[in-house]
Amino acid sequence: MGVTLLIFNKLPIITFAIMSSKRIHYNRIKTILVDKKKSNKELAEHLKTTPQTVSNLCTNLRQPSIPQLFSIAKFLDVRIMELLREDAEITAGAA
């Protein structure tokens, strides 16, 4: 659970963000990186981004944009649909 302190009309407001421990895994980037024997660092260099950003994509903390998907697919020599999970909703389960 995260806590945020906001100031509204000079009055403090505390908000709570409850984060689910379950995460929907929309992509298979990490699996394909391993299969193709490529590293996060190599993909980061290809995408001109940081290894941390690639790590977030691989762990599904964030999802790639459409242009990034095209670039990742080209780098890994796979079809875009191979990067995506068809069973993402089933994998997530109830929150």
CATH code for residues 24-92? 1.10.260.40
- What secondary structure does DSSP assign to 8-46, as a single string? ETTEEEEEEEPPPS-----B-HHHHHHHTT--HHHHHHH
d(CA 70, CA 58): 16
pLDDT tens per residue across all 95 residues of the chain: 455 555 556 665 555 554 555 678 899 999 999 999 999 999 999 999 999 999 999 999 999 999 999 999 999 999 999 999 887 654 444 44
Q: What is the pTM of this model?
A: 0.69
d(CA 25, CA 63): 9
